[in-house]
Structure 1
Amino acid sequence: MNPDPRTENDDFARARARLIEEIERELIETRAYLKTDHIDPRVLDAIARVPRERFVPPDMRQHAYRNQPLPIGNGQTISQPYIVAVMSDLLQLPAAGGRVYELGTGSAYQAAVLGAMGAEVYSVEIQPELAARAEALLAELGFGRVHVRAGDGYLGWPQAAPFDAIIITAAGPEVPQPLVDQLKTGGRLVMPLGPSGGAQTLVVLVKQPDGTLAQRELLPVRFVPITRDPIDS
């Protein structure tokens, strides 16, 4: 027997509400790292509205609102909602949403959250299958301001630059210089910095007038590594 869609939707709505409560509790627990337990209300509102169950494989939907990363296939994961919330908040998007670049579309959940906050998002995914799946899902859900293409995300999206903010949803040992070049002065870049399989730290970097980056280290994290196209790298 198939579940009643109305009942299922109500269950997911309640699960999203519980997830928001979990995120708020974890923000309090990690305020020593973040130096605050306040988060932009737009972030929590977006997480409350984006249907995370649509961004995970069908057999994982019952787990969609657990506050943890989940596998999405192709060796990739959908990030823990708390981390999505923190990274979205650290971007400090302008009131109108601004223009954001994302390296690593993955499931497109992070891009959808930013889109729900009003941002125009340009996201690049190295795996064509994931990029196509993300593009189709975002179109189906009405995220017309979130743009996805397949390619080497390390190189950015120069045609859409400069960006108000840049988010990197995979770990690397260094900040990609092409992305620094595409970031506005005063703009923020948020990424997990560190080697694959080693110690990684979530950092926020602010581009200075002379082109250098002011860096602040926050949380210990663990992300999949940035994948490069061997032809472009």
Structure 2
Amino acid sequence: MTDSEDHLDGEPTEADRIALAELILKLRANGVRDRRVLGAIEGIPRRLFLSSRHQALAYADRAMPIDCGQTISQPTIVAMMTEALDVQPHHRVLEVGTGSGYQAAVLARLAREVYTVERYRSLKRYAEDRFNALKLENVETRIGDGFEGWPEQAPFDRIVVTAAAEEIPESLVAQLAEGGVMVIPVGASGTVQDLVKLTRANGQVERSSLCAVRFVPMVHGVAERL
């Protein structure tokens, strides 16, 4: 993977610090209020999850491309999804779609354990390098079909899906603990999708819509290459 050749060390520049401060102010202006979420985003250097050619825009509020045709989500969307999950320190979280590892790294600052599933081996390795560089010891990764989740570790207090499914996978809903919350984009690829929040309470699953989003599609199976 090209990005794996980028440096994982080095102090943030003054420009990085200014851009990050401006990003946090923008997240607040966009309605993100949870101080723990803002603190987690402030504490995870997004530039480490981008290639060198994109690091100048690390703290811009925009999605950025990564390898395998995937993206690292816009910081506002990461913050909104994380805030909607309401992750607590004792929670076990499942993430479907590791990608660069940025969302999992943010979650690792908030949860007891994070389990993240990726279908591309190169992205899994890339994310693991970042987790190791940041000394995040509460993140477990695996290669797998995101639609299957991680049944051996279920149930989960929180589940977040970082790719859009045309229908909500019942296999993931089944892995949600009582009182649990799942956040997932729902809709067809190439269209405006609905960011959905599911809450399991008293044996029932309640659904609510959060906002319109655009995510890469959720794909069955494990990639044969990459």
TM-score (norm: length of structure 1): 0.87
- 1:208 positional shift: 3.0
Cα distance in 2 between the residues matched to 1:152 and 1:61? 30
Alpha-carbon distance in structure 2 between the residues aligned to 1:184 and 1:9: 42
2:115 is aligned to 122
Q: Does the 8 Å contact 2:167/2:186 carry over to 1?
A: yes
Aligned to 1:174: 167
Distance in 1 separating the partners of 2:107 and 2:222: 29
Q: Distance in 1 between matches of 2:112 and 2:182?
A: 15
Instruction: State percent identity of aligned pairs.
Output: 42
Runs of 4+ in structure 1 deviating by more than 3 angstroms, as ranges, are none
Cα pair 1:128 1:151 within 8 Å, conserved: no
Q: Which residue of 2 aligns with 1:92?
A: 86
Letter in 1 for 2:206: A
Q: 1:226 aligns with which of 193, 208, 218?
A: 218
Deviations 1:62-108 (A, max 9, x none): 010000100012100000000000000111122x2410000000011
In structure 2, what residue type is equivalent to 1:158? P
Whether 1:54 and 2:58 are equivalent positions in the alignment is no
Aligned pair count reads 214
CA RMSD of aligned residues (A): 1.6
Q: 2:131, 2:112 → 1: CA distance? A: 14
Distance in 2, Cα, partners of 1:145 & 1:9 = 28
The match for 1:18 among 22, 29, 37 is 22
- Deviation at residue 137 of structure 1 after TM alignment: 1.5
Instruction: Tell me how far apart the structure 2 counterparts of residues 168 and 138 of structure 1 sit (CA, whole Å).
Output: 19
Partner of 2:182: 189
Does structure 1 conserve the Cα–Cα contact (< 8 Å) formed by 2:93 and 2:111?
A: no
- AA of the residue aligned to 2:39: D
1:113 to 97, 101, 106: 106
Partner of 1:35: none
Q: CA deviation at 1:132?
A: 1.1
8 A contact 1:131–1:149 mirrored in 2: yes
Structure 1 residue runs of 5 or longer lacking an equivalent are: 28-37
Question: Which string of whole-angstrom CA distances, capped at 9 and with x for unpartnered residues, describes residues 96-154 of structure 1?
Answer: 24100000000110000011123411000111110111112211211110111111111
Q: Does 1:217 pair with 2:209?
A: yes
State the distance in 2 between where 1:18 and 1:49 align. Answer: 14
SS in 2 for 1:73: coil
Distance (Å, rounded) in 2 between the aligned partners of 1:200 and 1:216: 13
8 Å contact 2:87–2:111 — kept in the other structure? no
State the secondary structure of the residue aligned to 1:220: strand
Correspondent of 2:146 among 146, 150, 153: 153
- 1:23 partner amino acid: L
Residue 163 of structure 1 corresponds to 156
Which residue in 2 is equivalent to 1:79? Answer: 73
Q: TM-score, normalised by structure 2?
A: 0.90
Structure-2 residue corresponding to 1:101:
94
Give 2:164's aligned amino acid: A
| In 1, Cα distance between equivalents of 2:39 and 2:18 | 14
